[in-house]
Amino acid sequence: MSVPYQTPEEHLHTLLGRALNSFELPDETIRRLDSALAYDSSLYSAHHSGGLHRETHRHTFLLADGSALTLWELAHNSARGSQPQHELFADEEEVRTAASRLPFAGGPDPFDEAAPGGGAGGGAGGDALPPEILRLVAEYAALPKREYITEGSADHARRLLRRAENADRPGERTARRVSTALAHQIIQAFRSPCSDASGFGFALYEHAFLLHDGSEVSLWEAEHTATPDGRHMCEVYLSQDAALAAMERRAGQPS
């Protein structure tokens, strides 16, 4: 069952791809999982006897709204020496019922905490979340909440970087990071009138992006008319200080 590290999106794709009954999962469940930021997978129960095996795995996803959603995966072979089959369930009772129907006469209840291997990683009720997910939930809850827009965020990041004219704009590494943006917010941090002492107009915007790995990245856009012909120019920086410093330079010596 172990695989190299995957993003939440890749891990979900793997689960759905190998599950024989993935089409039975509720549409609402799949829709919610589109916003997964992180996940934790653990073996919940296992039973091996006479060439037959039955394993239940719990996959808990941390969603963008701070909630957690669990998928239950049942891996088993129905005949001695046959290849494993996988089934996926959104409800603990459903996977319990499916496991009980497998050919393990006299075998332990896969959700019985007293059974060998039973309830690994949590109690039979399944209410306790893995420590890693609890940590992620706590960290997410501590973040300042933004009013993110969830449409076209990656495209917005690409357009922003494409229109930046400064030579020291963020490079390819930043472009790759924000290409995974699942939400964004634009905040006007500063604006000066065109009638100030310099005769130029300046505006500063923070473009905050929420990425698929749960991190946040801000790009700072300095928009101004400190150009020889008075046209608007866009510059993008990785920090607010760098953007403000550029605006000060432009006010003293326009391009």
Same domain, 32 and 110: yes
State the pLDDT at residue 104.
Answer: 58
Q: What is the CA radius of gyration of the chain?
A: 26
Q: Are 179 and 157 in contact (CB under 8 A)?
A: yes
- Distance (Å, whole) CA 77 – CA 58: 18
Greater model confidence, 248 or 92: 92
Same domain, 132 and 240: no
- Distance (Å, whole) CA 157 – CA 171: 12
Q: Which amino acid is at 133?
A: I
Question: Which tens digit of pLDDT belongs to each residue from 98-118?
Answer: 888 876 544 444 454 433 344
Question: Is 1 among the domain residues?
Answer: no
Question: Is 3 among the domain residues?
Answer: no
Structure tokens belonging to residue 187: 């905040």
Greater model confidence, 247 or 2: 247
Same domain, 91 and 135: yes
Boundary (domain end) residue, out of 91, 108, 141: 141
pLDDT-derived band at 229 (thresholds 50, 70, 90) equals: confident
Q: What range does the domain containing 227 cover? A: 153-252
pLDDT-derived band at 164 (thresholds 50, 70, 90) equals: very high
pLDDT-derived band at 140 (thresholds 50, 70, 90) equals: low
Same domain, 17 and 130: yes
Same domain, 181 and 218: yes
pTM for this entry: 0.47
State the pLDDT at residue 52.
Answer: 78
Residues 160-174 as b/e (b if ≥16 CB within 10 A, e otherwise) read bbeebebeebbeeeb
Same domain, 159 and 135: no
Q: Is the pLDDT of residue 195 over 70?
A: no
Query: Comparing C-alpha atoms, which of 19, 166, 186, 194 is closest to residue 95?
Result: 19
Boundary (domain end) residue, out of 121, 141, 161: 141
- Distance (Å, whole) CA 191 – CA 180: 29
Question: Could you give the strand order of the β-sheet that contains 36-49, starting from the edge strand earlier in sequence?
Answer: 36-49, 52-63, 68-76, 85-89
State the pLDDT at residue 120.
Answer: 39
Greater model confidence, 190 or 83: 83
Question: Is 148 among the domain residues?
Answer: no
The whole-chain average pLDDT of the chain stands at: 77
pLDDT-derived band at 15 (thresholds 50, 70, 90) equals: very high
Same domain, 51 and 160: no
Total domains in the fold of the chain: 2
Same domain, 131 and 242: no
- Distance (Å, whole) CA 249 – CA 255: 10
Same domain, 13 and 135: yes
Same domain, 12 and 106: yes
Question: Is 190 among the domain residues?
Answer: yes
Question: Is 108 among the domain residues?
Answer: yes
- Greatest CA span in the chain, whole angstroms? 88
Question: Which tens digit of pLDDT belongs to each residue from 33-74?
Answer: 998 888 888 888 877 766 778 889 999 988 888 788 999 999
Question: Is 2 among the domain residues?
Answer: no
pLDDT-derived band at 143 (thresholds 50, 70, 90) equals: low
pLDDT-derived band at 237 (thresholds 50, 70, 90) equals: very high
* Lowest-confidence pick of 75-84, 122-131, 191-200, 233-242: 122-131
Boundary (domain end) residue, out of 108, 141, 174: 141
